[in-house]
Each structure stands twice: as C-alpha cells, then as structure tokens.
Structure 1
Amino acid sequence: MIWLIFTVLVLGAMGIALAPLRQREKALVQRGETVPAILVDQLEEVDRDLDRGIISEVEAKAARQEIRRRMALVLRRSETGTSASNGGQGAMILAAVFVPLMAIGYYAIAGAPETTAVPLSIRGAEGVDEERIAYLTQKLRDKLTLDADGGATEGWMLLGQTYGRMGRFDDAVEALQIAANRADANSATWSMLAEALIRTSNGTVTPAAAQALRTALELDETNPAATFYLAIAEYQSGEAATAHERLLRRLDQTEGYRPWMDSYVAQANAIAKEIDRPGIDVPMPDSPGPSAADIASAQEMSEEDRADFIRSMVDRLANRLEEEPGDVEGWLRLAKAYEVLKERHKAKSAYLRAEERLPADDPRMADVRERLRELEEN
C-alpha cells in the first residue's frame, strides 16, 4: 500500500514539474517586477517601526540604505537575467525524472516507514515557538549591531544566553566576548563566557575558559559558577583531590541553602567515590512545603479535598519558582509533581527549566534528558 501511495505521489510531482514546459506560450513573471515591490513594502515597514519607536533614526537610516542597495541590485539583474531561463528544458526534464527515482531508491534502503510520526499539533506548536525565538533573537542582534554606541552590554549578555539555550554555542561565545570586552563587564559576564566556551568544546574546560573563570573570580570571589567550573578544570587535569577540596571549601563558606549547592554536592560526591572519601548531603532548602500539621490534616481529607490540597502545594511551589528561577532542585521537584498529577506538558516545561540551569557536567543532567525523551515519546 505504501508503495502505491509513493507511486501516485511521484507521478503527481512529475506532472507538476513538467507542466510549465507545456505552457511556454504564457508570459513568465519576471523577478524584477515583484522583488522591488517587496522591497518597497520593507521600506514602508521601516518607516512604521520608526514611527512606533521600535527602532531609532540611526537604525532606520541603515535599514533604508540596505534595502535600496538590494533594489538596485535586483533591477540590474532583471535586465540581463532572462536569457538564461530558456536553456533549462533538458535540466528540468532530467530533474523531474531522476530525483524521484533516486529518492525512492534511497528510501527503499534507508527508510523507516514503521517509525511513529510526531503528532502534527505538537510539531506545529514547537515549530512556531522556535521560529518566533529565532526571529526575536535575530532582531535583538540587528538592534545591537546597528547601535551607533555598540549596543548595551546587558543586551549582548542576553543575546549570548539566548544563543546558548538555542544550542548555538559559537554564536553565544561571539556575543559574550563582546560583552566581556566592555569596561562595565562584571563577574557574571565572564563566567557566562566561560560556560559558553566549555559547551563549544563538549564539556572540556579549555585554557581560554579557565582564564575567563579566573577573571570572574577576581571580580567576585563568591561567584559559584566560576568556582564550580574551575573545580571541573582541576578534575579534568587529574587533580581530583584538589577539585574536591575546592567544592567543599566553597560550600563551607556559605550559610544556609542556595540552589547552586545541589550541583556542588552532586559533583563533590561523584569525585569522592573515585578518591575514596565520604560523601556529603545537600543542606535543606528554605522552600515552602507541607509541614507536619499539613501532612496530618491531609490524612483526614476526602479524596477530592486531598487533590485540591496537593494542587495548592504544587501551585505554591510553581509561584515561588517564578520569583526564584535559579532553584534547580525546585524545578526538578515541580516536574516530578506534575508527572504525578499526569500533567505531562507542565512536567516537560519544568524539566526544560531545570535543564537550562544545570551545568553540563552535572550528574543529574542525564536523568533530566531521559525524562524529557520519555515525555516526548508518550
């Protein structure tokens, strides 16, 4: 049945591809007639953005110059580019026949028709989100690039963070290097640059990354990310005991609970196993949770009231995390709670928030990605 469908599709595609050759008497739409109109619309869009205050006068002027340059280029090409279109009949016929045959042959060898398809509703929503993020990211980059003063340092840092979340680590390094070279660059700027450099090298702390981390600690000796990755650098160079001591020393210097401590303790315990040292526990977080009285009262509730009680606890945790988004452990607890409540979409979102904040070498990263994979499949 599937090969019958393929045959119908191939014949239809060949018919569509060859149809223009039977209609050569129809006038061709020249590119020079349509593209200038599009560019004129773009000029008007620049004027509208300027009126709304979205872009500055300097940005508008630069955009107009670029659009006019493109208009001139298109018009020059349209005067000389039509003659080349008449000699492509043979190539079109060859492509219309050869490409479908090659595709069928390849699919017969390497295809997987039994693979379950991703639902269109999910695929479409994700595609729209990705396109929107990519559009906004490019718009931010253009705004920073066209700024006569070079763009705000905070803007370049935001751009670098966004590229990092998109997996475009080389672009993240480029943006963060611009921010780091500014006079107002702070410790966080340098540690973010170091993390981007580490991700471009698949988790290896390179000499350039190590130097950025040292600069971050010079600006702020309490920067937890800089200390953590310097410990990773020591561990990767064979100095496991030194790395372990650095992590424990930083933990001892901090009172109470901080979200970054989860990563520290997990890494310290992983190293401790290798060098035969005792493990340590994560300090208890000061996060809202059910008290002993809450638990006791929940036992006496009806099934419906108990469900409402659980929902209120989950909502309270979710609200706190919106105010304190750096709490990785909190995001993990929230994700598991949503899984218990069978709210898979919210669980996936919470796991993604945790993944964004986990260091690349955190032992919990593998479990988070496994949970995300299972949520995608089911």
Structure 2
Amino acid sequence: MIWGIFAIMAIAGLTIALFPMRRAGMAPVLRADAVPAVLVDQLEEIDRDMARGLVSAPEAEAARQEIRRRMAQVLRRADRQTVTTTGGRGALILAAVFVPVMAFGYYSFAGAPDVPAVAFADRADERADTRRIADLAGQLRERLRADPDGGPTDGWMLLGQTYARMGQFDEAVTAFRTASGRDDAVSATWSMLAEAMIRANDGTVTPDAVTALNRALTLDLSNPAAAFYLAIADAQAGEVGAAHDRLTARLAETPGYQPWMDTYIAQANAFAQTLGRAPIASRAPVARSPSAADVAAAQEMSEGDRAVFIRSMVDRLATRLEDEPDDVNGWLRLANAYGVLQEMDKARDAYLRADALLPEGDARKAEVRASIARLENP
C-alpha cells in the first residue's frame, strides 16, 4: 500500500512541478476530487516518516502546516481551478511537499528490522503508475537541463527524491550531485546524496558516500542520517565496536526522545548482540494521536470540515491497522485518537491490542495498562 501512495504523490508532485515551467494559460487541473485523498495520505505518511527518522520534527511540522492549509482551501472550493502561474521555483517547493523526503530512507524502508523490503516495480497493479512517473521524471529532468540557469535546486532535489523512490538510484545520485554543487546546498542535500550512493551500491557505504556524509555533518552536526551511515561504514570496515560507540554516543548526547532514535537503537542493539554488549531500551513515549494536534492546527476549517477531517484520519488509520495488525505505534495512535473523539470503548480495545504487542520491560507498557485501567474504571 505504501508504494501506491508514493506513486500517487510522485505523480501529483511532478505534475505540479511541470505545469509552471510551461506557458501560462494551461488547461484546467482538477484538484477538488484528487488532492484531498493525497493530502490525507500524506499527513499519515509524514507521521510514519518522522517515526522512522526520515524527517526532523521542524520539517514534519512545516509540511503538515502546508498540507493542512491546502486541505482547508480544497474543502472550501469544490470547483475547478486553473493553474496559470509562470514561475517555477515556488511550484517546485510546493511539489516537494507531495514527495516524501528521502533522508534516512535506506535503512528506514529497506534495512530496518521491522520493515520488509518491497520492490517498487514488482507490483503488477502499479506498473502503469511507474511508467507515468518515469515519463514525468524524464520531462522534469529535460526541463531542468534546458534551463539557462541550470534549473532550481528544489527541482533537482525533487527529481532525486522521485528517482530514489522509483529505485533508480544512479539517476538519483546524478540529481542529488547537481543539487549538492549549488551554493544553497544544505546538510540534508549531502546526506540524501550519500544515501542514493549507498543504495546504488547495494548497501555498501563507499568512500564517496563517506565524503558526502562528512560534508553533511560539517554543515549540521545534528544530522542523524549522516552519523547513522557513518556508523554503518564503521561496521562494514570491521569496526563494529566503533560503530556501536558512534550510535550510543549520539543517543547519549541527545536529550529526550526524537523519532530517529528508534532506528538508532535497533541498529545499536544489533551491533550490541554481535559484541556481547547490553541492549539499549527504547525511549519512545506512548504515541500521541495526530487528531488533537490536527484539530488545533486546522483553525482555518469550518466546524463541519474539521469533523470530517478528523474522522477521515481516524478511519484511515483503523483501516490500515486491519492490514498491519502488528503496528504497535499505530494502535497507540488509534487509542489516543478514539480518546479525543470520546469513543472510550474503542480506545480501550486499541490499547488492549497495543498491550498485547508490547514486550515486557517496555516502558510504554505500564502507561498503556494505566490507560486501560482508567477506561475500564472511569
């Protein structure tokens, strides 16, 4: 299912990116029917990306705010709208919202212990979408190359992210390398380049990737992807102890809980098992429901639109959990969401599902059981 969402978002994002590069006066673009589902899916995807360390909290919140703003606009306008802008940069930034950021993507989607690898092109029902994405990506690439100014950096980043999601990592490397050569390249640009290099080399952290990762850390010492892949490089060089030390040191120097810590801890514990060292306990708190935050942030919506928005989020999460019943964080989110909606029986049932999945010794188990007790004895 997740790859189908990526396909939809990539098509939507590239389509938005390509239209402004053409002359004004284009044919109308239907948004009222197609965009809301994409936006709701993207909000859920941001939560999952953040939980796996793909995006930072500020990046995630900025994306959520933009998506909610667009959701509110679409809910107020159910008619056709015509795209007539002539500028490319602003639309490319907007389009990037629809394509998941690649940062921390390789181990979050391909190498994380609890995430099975999925070959994008292996799904027969998605091959048509794959061809459409490839065609749109090719058009975007040619337009960027034809731009006398070399094309906006945002466009090359969007192109690299799209190629990476399609599994075309050599092309992703080319796009990210172009973006990294710009004066406005940031730390994430370099870590995305490194990730594409790693993926293009079947998971091997090459010397060029190490150079890119070190550049990413130079620009931002807090970049979790850069430190993570350098630890992988240590391990691949036979320095498993150094790899474990790098991850645990980063965890020790970071207060509180950050979503990327789950990936760090899982990998550190894999190293610890090899080394005979003690495992690290998860720092993850009980997952918060997105619904309460979404309600507070969706101030522009009318009361009726807001209720529809919240219900759609909760129903989508519940439907997803039918297909992914082992997602403990999903059950915790659903329990909190039902609590916000005052559907206490459903909240209790969701907490019970989470409790059954949480291992003994997990700090969240006591909090979950306390929540169950409160719901059973109000």
What TM-score does the superposition give when structure 1 sets the normalisation length?
A: 0.47
Structure whose CA Rg is larger: 1
* Higher RCO (CA-CA < 8 Å; seq separation 6+): 2
- Identify, as 1 or 2, the structure richer in helix: 1
